[in-house]
Amino acid sequence: MTVANNSLSQYIFVTASYWAFTLTDGALRMLVVLYFHQLGYSPMEVATLFLLYEFFGVVTNLVGGWLAAHWGLNTTMHVGLALQIVALTMLAVDSSSLTVVYVMVAQALSGIAKDLNKMSAKSSVKLLLPQASHGKLYRWVALLTGSKNTLKGLGFFLGALLLSLVGFQSALKLMSAVLALVFLLSLFLLQSDLGKTQYKPKFKEIFSKSESVNYLSAARLFLFGSRDVWFVVALPIFLQSELGWQHMDVGILLATWIIAYGLVQSCAPLITGIRRGKIPAGKAVVSWALILSVVPLLIVVALQLDMAAGRVLVVGLLLFGFFFAINSSVHSFLIVAYARADGVSMDVGFYYMANAAGRLLGTVLSGWVYQRFGLEACLLVSAAFIITSSMISMRLPEYH
């Protein structure tokens, strides 16, 4: 049953479902990092808990686009919501049952769920607009992506707050109940045939044959690796273990960062000059990436000069978030613009496979590099990754 089939209504339904999922995903990430560090897990062990989450994100994005072309985007979005409910329920058990392997399996389901949901939402936007509407497409993608990250930031705050107020297990039970309600509503509100294609691609076609999609995907891998190599594990543990911050302090900072990051993403079309008729392309990706690469280097210099570490990290994190948000928003627009209309879920899925691979690489390095060499080394790796991303981006065309 479909309540409304017009583009704006469907965009609203897709966005609302994406928002609800993202809120639980952000909260779960913060709950796992803070709770297991509290239990005495080392930085590398905390990073290990996310390995299958990120690994299955790679697999899901690679296969998810092919599944969406056969099943429809509404089905893959529903499957994503259902798997997240299962993952939350699995983790809401007594702490004595939370072995590393068990948590990794639950996180694997959450990783599959997150990327099915994201691929479905981003692909849907392409199909809800006429092909030539690049300006409107840029605005819609920026709003979807930016609002998602704002909600993820609220999720970080929610995770830290719930951990302090009701504890790990009760927080997970509450989130699974809310998400179950969203799942039931989405069954009635989302268009049933959204994203189904007349042409059913073969499985071997999951790898993109588009040069522009391939270069953008490679650039995305290093871009997101550059963020997670210091943001995911190293930064929250450094703030707790070296600076003595409490759960809520860390949660508020990271939540504020993600919220501000999402707001900048939503405003990226204005920042990059859409009112002057500027639609970003390959050259814009290179220049914005080079600006971003300076920020982690400046943080390292400030720390080497023995400036107040807390203040340096807060200011540096906000600067990094501003420029990273613009980079990410431009990337998100370009993949939808580059994607084939008759295979949008395939191209978007392949691209977000690279995104997940970057997160996986960044997460592993965040734990390992921090444990071996410290936070400054993580920041140097971040800068190197961003420069690599900008070099790859030099091969990007304008847009089709």
pLDDT in tens, 64-108: 767 766 677 778 788 888 999 999 999 888 877 778 888 888 988
Q: Quick: pLDDT tens for 176-206.
A: 998 898 888 877 766 665 555 555 556 555 5
Put residue 200 in one of left, alpha, beta given phi > 0 → left and psi -120 to 50 → alpha. beta
Q: How confident is the model at residue 327 (pLDDT cuts 50, 70, 90)?
A: very high
Give residue 218's pLDDT. Answer: 92
The 3-state secondary structure of 17-82, one letter per residue: HHHHHHHHHHHHHHHHHHHHHHCCCCHHHHHHCCHHHHHHHHHHHHHHHHHHHHHCHHHHHHHHHH
Q: What is the pLDDT of residue 229?
A: 93
More confident position, 64 or 36: 36
- Find out whether 57 and 344 touch, Cβ atoms under 8 Å: no
Percent of the chain with pLDDT over 90: 22
Q: What is the pLDDT of residues 108-125, one digit of tens each?
A: 898 888 878 777 776 666
Instruction: Read off the pLDDT of residues 125-178 as tens digits, 9 standing for 90 and up.
Output: 666 655 545 667 777 677 777 777 777 778 888 888 888 888 888 989 999 998
User: In the prediction, which pLDDT does 50 show?
Assistant: 81
Give the C-alpha separation, 103 to 205, whole Å: 33
What was the pLDDT predicted at 100?
81
Range 364-385 average pLDDT:
92
Band of residue 1 on the pLDDT scale cut at 50, 70, 90: very low
- Say which residue, 305 or 32, is predicted with more confidence: 305
CA gap 266, 123 in Å, rounded: 18
* Residue 74, both tokens: 């509404």
Q: Which of 63-77, 100-114, 209-223, 316-330 has the lowest mean pLDDT?
A: 63-77
SS3 6: coil
pLDDT of residue 2: 41
Give the mean pLDDT of the chain: 81
Does the global pTM surpass 0.75? no
Is the pLDDT higher at 36 or at 251? Answer: 36
Q: Alpha carbon of 158 to those of 232, 255, 261, 336: distances in Å?
A: 17, 8, 17, 31
What does the domain layout of the chain look like in residue ranges?
7-192+210-393
pLDDT of residue 341: 61
């995903």: which residue's tokens?
25
- What is the rounded CA–CA span in Å between residue 375 and residue 364? 14
Rounded Cα gap, residues 255 and 236, in angstroms: 12
User: Any idea how long the chain is?
Assistant: 400
In this predicted structure, the answer to whether residue 40 has a pLDDT above a threshold of 70 is yes
Give the CA diameter of the chain. Answer: 63
Instruction: Give the residue with greater pLDDT, 247 vs 113.
Output: 113
Scan for tokens 């690599």, then name that residue.
388
Q: Which CATH fold topology does 7-192+210-393 show?
A: Growth Hormone; Chain: A; (1.20.1250)
Predicted confidence at residue 390, as pLDDT, reads 94
